Structure 1
Amino acid sequence: MIPGTAITDTVLYTSVVAPYCRTCHILRGTKNQDDLDFTSLAKFQGYADRIKAHVFDRGNMPLSRIPHTDFWNSPAPQMLASFIDAQSGGAHVATSASGAVLMPGRPIADPGPDRMVRTGANAVLTAENSLFASTFAWSQPMPSGNVTITNPNGMVAIFNASVAGTYAVRLTVNNGADFK
C-alpha cells in the first residue's frame, strides 16, 4: 500500500502511470534524457508536486489529446489525486463538494509569495502566475482600516499599510465560465 491511500503501488503504476504517462516519459528513460524517467514507481513518486501542477492545475499532461481524454474519462484522476494528496503533505488536488476531482481549465489564484514591507511603503501584489483567470479581486478578509489596496480589480495591485502589523490579503480570480 502507498502510505495514506488505499492504493497499492502496483495498481497505481498499472492503472495510471503505464497507460497515461509512460508512453511519453519512457522516451526520457535514455541516458540522453533520464531526468523524468517514469520506468519505475519510485521515479514517478519523486515528482508528485510537479505532477499535481501539470495534470490537475495546468492540464498539460497527459500531453497527447487521446491519452488526455482517456485519462479524464477513467477512474485514473481520482486514483492519482489520492496518491498526490498522500505525498504532498499540504497542497491537495482540488475537488468538488462531492469529492470528485476537478478538471483543469478552472481559474487558479496565485498571489505570489508572502511579503514583508515597511509601514507606509507600497508593496506590489501580482497575480501574474494565476491560471485561466481573466478577472481579479484583491481584498482583505478581515478589514482593519489600516490597509489600502490600490487597483483592487487589476492583475497587479498596490498594498499599503499605515500601521505596523501582520495582514492577510485575498486574491479571487474568475474567467466567467462554470466548471464541473
Structure 2
Amino acid sequence: MREDISGFRLPRYEQIPDVGLYLEQTVRYVNSFLAPLGEVELTASMASNYVKHKLLPAPRKKLYSAEQLARLMFIAAVKPVVPLDGLRLMFSIQAENYEIQTAYDYFCDEFENMLGAAFGVAPAMQGIGETESDEKDLLRNTITAVVNKVYLDRYLAFYREAQDAAPSEQE
C-alpha cells in the first residue's frame, strides 16, 4: 500500500514543459504524476470543462502552457474534495496573494510532505515556507482532506483485496 507513495513526486513549476502540449498529451502528462493516488484522474472532457467553467484559460492554438498544466495538476488532485465553485474561489485567492509558480510549488511541497506522513513513508509533517497566512492554512486544510481521502480509499481497497485473496471459511 505504501510502495508507490514513497516515490511520489509532483513536478515543480520550472520542470513543467512550457512548449505547449495538446489536450491528450496534457491529460497523459497530468495522469502520469497522479496515478499513484488511485482514483485521482483527469480526462480530456474534464480538462475541456474546466476551460469552459473558466477555471483555467483556454489553450492557445490548442496547446496547453505550463500555467495551465500546473492548474490542472492542482484541480485533478483536489477535485475529489473541493467543488468547482470552491476551486474558482481558491484560484482567485491565489491570484491575489501569490504568483502561480510560488503557489504551485508550495502546493507540491505540502502535498508530498502530508502524503508521505499519512502513509508513514516520510517523517512527521514539517512546516514548509517561511510565513504563515490564512491562505496557506486554507491550502493545508484542503491538502489534508485530499490526503485523508487518498489514504482511506487505498486502505479500503487494500483490505478488500486481502479479503478476496483469503480462503473462504465455507470451503
Q: How high is the TM-score relative to the length of structure 2?
A: 0.29
More helix by share: 2
Is the strand fraction higher in 1 or 2? 1
Higher Cα Rg, which structure: 1
If the length of structure 1 is used for normalisation, what is the TM-score?
0.28
Relative contact order higher in (CA < 8 Å, ≥ 6 apart): 2
